[in-house]
Homo-oligomer: A and B are copies of this chain.
Amino acid sequence: MKQTDLLVKMVIDRWNGSIVNLNKHVQALSDEQLQKEVAPGKNRGSYILGHLIAVHDDMLRLLDMGEKLFPELYEIYIKQADKVATQTPSGIELRAMLDKQNSFFQEKFESLTSEEWLEKHTAVSEEDFLKEPQRNKLNILITRTSHLQYHLGQLVLLS
């Protein structure tokens, strides 16, 4: 295997592993548990889950993979803090979105070559990318995996 292919695979494997763990923990929580704060006065599980789906949805734009699947989540789970929105998706709806999103990403991710992963993401200019080649699509996946793990560590406190 070519070194670049190996390295890209390692990064994608870590993303996939994190998603597997997220699914496992979300499935283990009841909708009632999901509505609880992860610690007194902190975000609720449902907000954290919605936030993750919204942030991952935004990756579609950054990775040039098409339109967001759930644009309505941005206001509720990225722009606003927890407990601000009065109308939010139910636990059942969030779980369905997570499943749909994971299947969608899996298909999209498999279709990209290693060289394509190393192309610039859409939020950086051609000019800046020449100077900073690390601002590529794979780096978006690396930072989003970190972000996912950070919030996963919080979600597990609900079990």
Give chain A's interface residues, CB within 8 Å of chain B.
1, 3-4, 6-11, 13-14, 17-18, 38-40, 42, 118, 133-134, 138-139, 142-143, 145-147, 149-154, 157
> Which B residues touch A146, using CB under 8 A?
14, 17-18, 145-146, 149
**Bound CA–CA A125/B139 (angstroms):** 30
> Which B residues touch A6, using CB under 8 A?
118, 133-134
Given A4-B4, A118-B6, is A11 in contact with B142 using a C-beta cutoff of 8 Å? Answer: yes
Partner of A10, one of B3, B40, B138, B154: B138
> Which B residues touch A142, using CB under 8 A?
10-11, 14
Partner of A154, one of B11, B118, B154: B154
**Bound CA–CA A38/B41 (angstroms):** 12
**Bound CA–CA A138/B157 (angstroms):** 29
